[in-house]
Amino acid sequence: MILVDFLFVNGAYLASIYLHYLDYSVMPGDILDKMLVRMPYVTLVYIGIFMVAKLYKNLWRYMGFLEVTKTVIGAGIGTIICFLIDYVCMKSGFLFGIGCLPLIAYIDSYLFITFLCVGIRTAYKSFRAMRSNLQRRSGTANKNIMIIGAGNMGNTILYEMSLSGYKFGSPVCIVDDDPAKQKLRIRNIPVAGKPEDIPKLVSQYDVNEIIFCITLISPERKREILDIAMSTGCSLKMAPNVEDFGGYNKSFTDKIRKVDVLDLLSRPEIKLNPDVCKYVTGETVLVTGGGGSIGSELCRQIARYNPAKIVIFDIYENNAFTLKNSLDRQYCGAPQIEIRIGSVRDMKRLREIFDEFNPSSVFHAAAHKHVPLMEDSPYEAVKNNILGTYNTAFCANEYGVKNFVLLSTDKAVNPTNVMGATKRVCEIVVQHFSKISKGTKFAAVRFGNVLGSNGSVIPIFKEQIENGGPVTVTHPDITRYFMTIPEASQLVVQAGGLAKGGEIFVLDMGEPVKIVTLAENLIKLSGFEPYKDVDIQFTGLRPGEKLYEELSLEEELDQRRKTGNDKIFVTKPLEIDDEMIENEIKAIGDLKPEEVRIFLKRLVPNYKPQ
């Protein structure tokens, strides 16, 4: 491009000089002399300005308005500088005594340079676009693609497809809700209808793949459109959101992903106030069970607020080690990540950890959470969940921790299983310590099922689909509340900043989702037809399993109120017998396995074991 610009710039000056002196009977040699004298500084001035503007750093197939503007302005500045050089040096006779050119010659040279330099770049870009369009029309692409959304993201995806020569597929039509865009074209692709027309257009244009490219849309409408798209059986993909697009020189098409079951949840993700979470900034934070699926994401969310140190305390070393490596790579040692192996059942080990690190905040995520397995091993659930929570809370109070947050579950509300009953006792333990503590703020966070966590239904369903089915659901009417791991973790961090002592925070989780609907959607997203290609079988409720979950106790509902975030509710602490709690906890070591459910019934009167 430097060589091309050298030829264009000097050729433009030569042409403008020739045109001006054409009627003055000037010999061609004299015209050439006038140009040769100017050539060194004309070349240096224009090429130098273009270099300063970084025009030679651009890939011209991506040329846009900014690059054209830089070229036009750069040519104008270069022309003015060359005129001043001529005026100062040549008019004074300093340089060979050759005078200035007429003003019209400078204007002509500027127009010639602008036309040539912009033109060659535009021609190159147009050539590539024309070649890509021919490839698309010739059918060399391996699939036909429908774009949902004729906005900025849809336009960007179409543009990047053309730059790649449509090697991943050929866009054939666009659908959009906006009536004003109907029957228009974007990059020569027709806006052929509305989302409701997707099934008809899939057949008409022989579509193989659908890419959802609407970034600003209500969750309800998004789900409606995705449901329509799923009904076609086409491969369904999602364009990235702006926050997913990280890094310079990254392609938006590289960020296109398969539609996930999370995209089909109509409840919007909760948005939290980051200022509330700054209580961990510059502090040491202890996360028990920090290597687990929720505990590890909790560590990642905490790390965003610049704590001095995060201590991962877990009994299983492999996940904790992997998490530390990931956080060290991402944050380069700030915050400092420490791993300590041990059990929350072991009071001596806990005191060692508190002695070593003296944390200001503790997030207690260590627990047994698998409902059927805890029905078979109830004493282990009591020791790990209840005793582990008591031990950790006791140390937090003893060592003057500022904030203690327990991760609880909606299964603690009117529990019918051992796991839920133990978690309800954990909530009572936290409220007990809140009453007797003088400096530590104790709180619990209660939420529903976490999609993608260890033991959630999603990975189980996916494995069953990969194996050809059947997908097993316990009951056709069973429903659950769902949230994502980042949501759950953000809520827990937020609760630590909102807590004043003894509260149970509850997330407004929207409408519960039928598990069978979740299974059907996963089957469709995998490219199969439910009950036809992959069967769904109902196996009956498992031990301790309820048809539906609740988020609050009946006695809590009267006192439930919103916090500063309208998606988070807080309940007032209930009255508890502190002496009874202390005595029952101390008696755990003497419990016999067959007495566990009786013990839980004493502490949780509304526990109704199946």
- Identify the pLDDT of residue 119: 79
More confident residue, 255 or 149: 149
Instruction: Tell which residue, 357, 362, 360, 355, has the closest CA to residue 404.
Output: 362
Q: Assess whether pLDDT exceeds 60 at residue 337.
A: yes
- Decide if 348 contacts 370 (C-beta within 8 A): no
Query: What rounded mean pLDDT belongs to the chain?
Result: 81
Question: Would you call 237 a catalytic residue per the annotation?
Answer: no
3-state percent helix, strand, coil for the chain, nearest multiple of 5: 50, 15, 35
Q: Assess whether pLDDT exceeds 60 at residue 178.
A: yes
Same domain, 53 and 112: yes
Q: Is 415 left (phi over 0), alpha (psi -120 to 50) or beta?
A: beta
Cα 528 from chain centre: 27
Cα 355 from chain centre: 37
The single-letter code of the amino acid at 89 is C
More confident residue, 521 or 340: 340
Same domain, 111 and 175: no
Return the CATH number at 207. Answer: 3.40.50.720
Confidence band, pLDDT 50/70/90 cuts, at residue 461: confident
**Residue 381 resides in a domain:** yes
**Residue 536 resides in a domain:** no
Same domain, 130 and 155: no
More confident residue, 554 or 384: 384
Q: Tell me the mean pLDDT in the region 443-457.
A: 73
Q: Assess whether pLDDT exceeds 60 at residue 437.
A: yes
- Decide if 534 contacts 465 (C-beta within 8 A): yes
Number of domains in the chain: 3
Instruction: Using a pLDDT cut of 90, give the percent of the chain over it.
Output: 28
**Residue 545 resides in a domain:** no
- Decide if 189 contacts 148 (C-beta within 8 A): no
Which residues, in sequence order, are CB contacts of 365 under 8 Å at separation 6+? 287, 288, 289, 290, 292, 294, 295, 298, 407
Same domain, 359 and 413: yes
Same domain, 407 and 375: yes
Q: Tell me the mean pLDDT in the region 429-440.
A: 90
**For 347-351, which contacts have Cβ atoms below 8 Å and span 24 or more sequence positions?**
347/391, 347/394, 347/395, 350/391, 350/392, 350/395, 351/395
Same domain, 120 and 215: no
Same domain, 129 and 250: no
CB atoms within 10 A of CB 289: 27
Q: Assess whether pLDDT exceeds 70 at residue 137.
A: no
- Decide if 309 contacts 336 (C-beta within 8 A): yes
**Residue 157 resides in a domain:** yes
**Residue 471 resides in a domain:** no
Phi then psi for 71, rounded to 5 degrees? -65, -45
Q: Assess whether pLDDT exceeds 80 at residue 116.
A: yes
Could you say which of 369, 383, 411, 524 is catalytic?
411
Highest mean pLDDT (candidates 253-262, 385-394, 457-466, 584-593): 385-394
Same domain, 125 and 150: no
Alpha-carbon distance of 482 to 409, in angstroms, equals 11
More confident residue, 417 or 273: 417
Confidence band, pLDDT 50/70/90 cuts, at residue 253: low
Confidence band, pLDDT 50/70/90 cuts, at residue 245: very low
**Residue 387 resides in a domain:** yes
Q: Which of 135, 159, 189 is the last residue of a domain?
A: 135
- Identify the pLDDT of residue 467: 87
Q: Assess whether pLDDT exceeds 70 at residue 324.
A: yes
**Residue 462 resides in a domain:** no
Instruction: Using a pLDDT cut of 70, give the percent of the chain over it.
Output: 81
Task: Give the global pTM.
Answer: 0.66
SS3 of 68-127:
HHHHHHHHHHHHHHHHHHHHHHHCCCCCCCCCCCCHHHHHHHHHHHHHHHHHHHHHHHHH
Q: Which of 259, 290, 321 is the last residue of a domain?
A: 259
Same domain, 222 and 293: no
pLDDT tens-place string over residues 521-572 = 888 877 788 888 889 999 888 777 777 776 655 555 556 555 555 556 777 6
Confidence band, pLDDT 50/70/90 cuts, at residue 247: very low
**Residue 265 resides in a domain:** no
More confident residue, 573 or 405: 405
- Identify the pLDDT of residue 131: 64
Alpha-carbon distance of 304 to 281, in angstroms, equals 9
Q: Is the peptide bond before 530 cis (omega within 30 degrees of 0)?
A: no
CB atoms within 10 A of CB 286: 28
- Decide if 166 contacts 140 (C-beta within 8 A): yes
Same domain, 504 and 390: yes
pLDDT tens-place string over residues 181-207 = 998 888 888 999 999 999 999 999 989
Q: Assess whether pLDDT exceeds 70 at residue 129.
A: no
Q: Tell me the mean pLDDT in the region 128-154.
A: 72
Same domain, 178 and 89: no
Q: Which of 259, 286, 314 is the last residue of a domain?
A: 259
Same domain, 246 and 280: no
Out of 29-43, 122-136, 170-184, 558-572, least confident range: 558-572
Q: Assess whether pLDDT exceeds 60 at residue 242.
A: no
Q: Which residue range forms the structural domain that includes residue 247?
A: 139-259
